[in-house]
Amino acid sequence: MQIDTEEKESSILIISRSGPTITKEMDFINKFIEVYIEDGLAKNNLIASKVMEFVDDRISTILDTLIVVEGELESFRSQSNVARIDLEGETTLIPVIIELEKKKLDLAFNMSYYEKLVDYVEKYDDAKGLIIPSYIEQGGLLNQVLSNLIQLYSEKVELQYDVTTTNESWRRNEEQISVAKTIIKENINALIEKSNGDLKLLSDEIKSIEFKLGNAPAIERTYYNIQRDYKLNNDLYTYLLQKKASASIAKGSNTSNVTVLDWASNYRVRSRGPVANSIYTNSIATGLAIVSLLVFLLEYFNEKIRTEKDIEACTDIPILALVGHNEYDSDVVVIQNSKSVVAESFRSLRTSINYLVEGKEKFCVMLTSSVSQEGKTFCSINLASAFSILGKRTVILGADMRKPKIFQDFNLKNDLGMSNYLINKASVEEIIQATSYENLFLVSAGPVPPNPSELIGSPRMEQLIDELSSNFDIVIIDTPPLGLVTDALQLTKYTDANLYIVRHNTTVRSQLKFVDELYRDKKLGKLGILVNDFQKPKFTYSYGYGYGYGYGYGYGYGYGNEPEKPKSFLSRIFA
């Protein structure tokens, strides 16, 4: 059996199996999928099932007690020859005791869930059972850390298809998961300790109320004790049934996160035996027709940005520069390959930004995009390099505290960075790192915190920008994607200009329209577009900038160290 992804970083799996009997192989694949879905659902329901067992056990205990107490009450009435004794405080104090007992039961439910959650975190290395049921109080640090752990497990699932377990990204993900688990355990231990304290306070309050009823005559006290136990257990029994119903609903609402797009069937079967020549001919002709149709449809319905006209159709935001594909091993192109087309594009961008900030000598620029993998970090490094080679003291601020990586391009460390400063554990001087290049410095993101957005919105963030602006001529901020989190929007109030990265054949039109709405609402300040990974065959030539006359692959500067691209087969034929 073979399992493949539809494409790189895709969440769609394709399962195939070879064998002599078609029906047998189809049945095997379909059964395999059913068992996989059932196993995932069982893990999703693991904690809910454990809590249900706890509820059933308490119901059984209270029901037995209720039967015994009901017998005692009937026996007392029979022996005392009375149907009822009016006890002072029965209508006011007993209900209070019952409500206090319910609160104790709620605490017991919470503690049971905490214990099951710790047990799951210790035994399993996935996020399938990490849930907070509806009958547990939502919010707080535990909820935040659980959400962070679920996100880390989601990233781990993506990484296992792209990297090995020795890769730096994999090891960093494992370390972050370990830290998140430790925080969860510590938080739960604190919650359990607090719950034990609350239980003691409730027990003391119940004893205090019972003491007020202790001065009644003997027959009334006996009646009170029996009547109290009966009402208490009867009300708790009803309350537990309600809790059981809530837990059952929570368990029943859990669904599998796996969707079967297409079950194994006959029309998916492909023969591997000998085929007649006529069938080959017809198949080739049909295949070519289908491919041509698919190419046409893909071209027609393609939503990705591929030309300047695509950008202009979506927004009025000005295009400041076009940066070509990086053919080099290093991301520090402007310094290491200063005569390349890419380096010239960033020098052109540097000039455009000077106009955008209206000639200021010192300023702050933020770079963002809609999603990851659009080249924010690459562009941040080279824009900063373009300013540093002019003698401008330039610092790059790695503001992506969720996936810090910019420090790797300079072979620096991430042990101390922006997150340490924002939580008041480091000074500005301690987090600034000098790179191996003159006038170019870096403040890395630092260790991943549980609350990046809150830290960026804190007063310490403004203090950090102010101090960097005082010590450097140019501050370049590399942010998380604008379409995923709000960090970039929070930072615009500190910047003099902002760049939105559009990557050729990656950014889709709907994302650009969303940014255009923010631009029209004046939420992004002075904004320009930087087109990254610009592909010559896909874009029309222009006279002024980019890859046309003067800067690009067309006429003008014949840059000496630009790697020569081999011609394609079709190019050699039609040359």
Residue 83 has pLDDT above 50, yes or no: no
Q: Is 28 exposed, middle or buried (0-12, 13-18, 19+ CB in 10 A)?
A: middle
pLDDT at 498: 96
The DSSP H or E segment spanning 324 is strand 319-324
Maximal CA-CA distance, the chain: 116
Backbone angles phi, psi at 464, to 5 degrees: -65, -45
Assigned domain for 537 exists:
yes
**Residue 366 carries which side chain, given as an amino acid letter?**
M
Q: Quick one: 317 and 239 in the same domain?
A: no
Assigned domain for 268 exists:
no
pLDDT in tens, 496-507: 999 999 999 889
For the ranges 39-43, 449-453, 454-458, the lowest mean pLDDT is seen at 39-43
pLDDT at 476: 98
Task: Enumerate residues 6+ apart whose C-beta is below 8 A from 67.
Answer: none
Strand segments, DSSP code E, in 479-525 are 497-503
pLDDT in tens, 296-343: 777 667 788 888 888 998 999 999 999 999 988 899 999 999 999 999
pLDDT at 558: 36
Residue 75 has pLDDT above 90, yes or no: no
Assigned domain for 213 exists:
yes
Assigned domain for 343 exists:
yes
Measure the CA dihedral 443/444/446/449, to 10°. 100
Token pair listed for 89:
């405080």
Q: Quick one: 357 and 230 in the same domain?
A: no
**Are the C-beta atoms of residues 546 and 559 closer than 8 Å to each other?**
no
Domain count along the chain: 2
Q: Quick one: 245 and 351 in the same domain?
A: no
Q: Quick one: 333 and 219 in the same domain?
A: no
Distances (CA, A) of 383 to 65, 353, 518: 76, 10, 24
**Confidence class of residue 85 from pLDDT cuts 50, 70 and 90?**
very low
Q: Return the number of other C-beta atoms located less than 10 Å from residue 325's C-beta.
A: 13
**Confidence class of residue 559 from pLDDT cuts 50, 70 and 90?**
very low
Between 343 and 109, where is the model more confident? 343
Q: Which residue has the tokens 């904004």?
A: 527
Most confident of 34-43, 105-114, 536-545: 105-114
The DSSP H or E segment spanning 552 is none
Angle at which helix 93-123 crosses helix 46-80, to 10 degrees, equals: 150
**Confidence class of residue 574 from pLDDT cuts 50, 70 and 90?**
very low
Tell me which residue of 253, 235, 197, 285 sits closest to 94, measured CA to CA: 235
CA 190 to chain centre: 26
Q: Could you tell me how many residues make up the chain?
A: 575
Between 176 and 97, where is the model more confident? 176
How many angstroms separate the CA atoms of 364 and 362, rounded?
7
Three-state SS sequence of 335-370: HHCCCCHHHHHHHHHHHHHHHHCCCCCCEEEEEECC
Residue 550 has pLDDT above 50, yes or no: no
Residue 414 has pLDDT above 80, yes or no: yes
Three-state SS sequence of 116-169: HHHHHHHHCCCCCCCCCCCCCCCCHHHHHHHHHHHHHHHHHHHHCCCCCCCCHH
Measure the CA dihedral 302/308/312/315, to 10°. 80
For the ranges 118-122, 245-249, 526-530, the lowest mean pLDDT is seen at 245-249
Determine the structural domain holding residue 379 and report its residue range: 312-552
How many angstroms separate the CA atoms of 384 and 104, rounded?
60
Distances (CA, A) of 125 to 27, 38, 121: 30, 18, 7
Q: Quick one: 114 and 196 in the same domain?
A: yes
Q: Is 447 helix (H, G, I), strand (E, B) or coil?
A: coil
**Confidence class of residue 399 from pLDDT cuts 50, 70 and 90?**
very high
Percent of the chain whose predicted confidence (pLDDT) is above 70: 73
Between 540 and 30, where is the model more confident? 30
pLDDT in tens, 31-60: 888 887 777 666 666 656 666 776 777 778
Three-state SS sequence of 273-297: CCCCHHHHHHHHHHHHHHHHHHHHH
Q: Return the number of other C-beta atoms located less than 10 Å from residue 186's C-beta.
A: 12
Q: Quick one: 416 and 547 in the same domain?
A: yes
Strand 527-534 to 497-503 pairing? parallel
Q: Is 575 helix (H, G, I), strand (E, B) or coil?
A: coil
Assigned domain for 6 exists:
no
pLDDT at 478: 96
pLDDT in tens, 218-259: 555 566 666 667 777 777 777 777 777 766 666 655 666 677
Tell me which residue of 378, 377, 352, 366 sits closest to 551, measured CA to CA: 352
**Are the C-beta atoms of residues 364 and 493 closer than 8 Å to each other?**
no
CA 445 to chain centre: 17
Q: Return the number of other C-beta atoms located less than 10 Å from residue 398's C-beta.
A: 24
Domain boundary among the residues 227, 252, 277 is at 252
Assigned domain for 266 exists:
no
Percent of the chain whose predicted confidence (pLDDT) is above 90: 33
**Residue 214 carries which side chain, given as an amino acid letter?**
G
Q: Please, which residues bridge with residue 528 across strands?
A: 499
Q: Quick one: 320 and 248 in the same domain?
A: no
**Confidence class of residue 95 from pLDDT cuts 50, 70 and 90?**
confident
**Are the C-beta atoms of residues 419 and 447 closer than 8 Å to each other?**
yes
Domain boundary among the residues 252, 271, 293 is at 252
Q: Is 436 exposed, middle or buried (0-12, 13-18, 19+ CB in 10 A)?
A: exposed
How many angstroms separate the CA atoms of 120 and 17, rounded?
34
**Are the C-beta atoms of residues 525 and 327 closer than 8 Å to each other?**
no
How many angstroms separate the CA atoms of 556 and 462, rounded?
44
Backbone angles phi, psi at 325, to 5 degrees: -75, 135
Assigned domain for 108 exists:
yes
Assigned domain for 275 exists:
no
Q: Quick one: 173 and 78 in the same domain?
A: yes
pLDDT in tens, 122-170: 888 877 667 666 555 555 677 788 888 888 887 887 787 677 888 888 8
Q: Is 98 helix (H, G, I), strand (E, B) or coil?
A: helix
Q: Quick one: 74 and 205 in the same domain?
A: yes
Q: Quick one: 529 and 390 in the same domain?
A: yes
Residue 555 has pLDDT above 60, yes or no: no
pLDDT at 256: 64
Please give the model's pTM, rounded to 2 decimal places: 0.47
Q: Quick one: 327 and 227 in the same domain?
A: no
How many angstroms separate the CA atoms of 78 and 73, rounded?
9
Per-position DSSP letters for 177-193, written without gaps between them: HHHHHHHHHHHHHHHHH
How many angstroms separate the CA atoms of 469 and 463, rounded?
10
Token pair listed for 396:
């790059």
Task: Enumerate residues 6+ apart whose C-beta is below 8 A from 443.
Answer: 395, 396, 397, 398, 417, 418, 431, 432, 433, 468
Q: Quick one: 243 and 323 in the same domain?
A: no
Q: What is the CATH number of the domain that holds 436?
A: 3.40.50.300
Most confident of 62-76, 322-336, 422-436, 558-572: 422-436
Q: Is 271 helix (H, G, I), strand (E, B) or coil?
A: coil
Average pLDDT, the chain: 79
The DSSP H or E segment spanning 5 is strand 2-5
